[in-house]
Amino acid sequence: MPMNPEQMRPILEAAIMVAGRPLSVNDLLKLFDGENKPSAKEIREVLETLQQHYANSGVELRELASGFQFQAKVELSQWLSHLWEERPPKYSRAILETLALIAYRQPITRAEIEEIRGVAVSTHIVKTLQDREWVRVIGYRDVPGKPALYATTKAFLDHLSLKSLDELPTLAEIKDLESQEEKLQIQLELATASETEKEIDSETTENHDMLTLSEETLERENETETEDETEILVELETESEEVSLETSEIDE
Tell me the pLDDT tens digit for each residue of 191-233: 555 555 544 444 544 444 444 444 444 444 444 444 444 454 4
Every domain of the chain and the residues it spans? 5-72, 93-192, 204-251
Question: pLDDT tens for residues 63-78?
Answer: 999 999 998 888 888 8
Q: Taking the complete model, does pTM exceed 0.75, yes or no?
A: no
- Give burial (CB, 10 Å; 0-12/13-18/19+) of 38: buried
For 119-153, what is each residue's pLDDT tens digit?
888 899 999 999 989 999 999 999 888 999 999 99
Instruction: Give 91-105 pLDDT, tens digit per residue.
Output: 788 888 899 899 999
d(CA 107, CA 139): 9
E strand or H helix at 62, and its extent?
strand 59-63
Q: Which CATH fold topology does 5-72 show?
A: Arc Repressor Mutant, subunit A (1.10.10)
Confidence of residue 89 (pLDDT cuts 50, 70, 90): low
- 93-192 CATH fold: Arc Repressor Mutant, subunit A (1.10.10)
CA distance 58 to 199: 25
Nearest CA to 74 out of 165, 245, 191 is that of 191
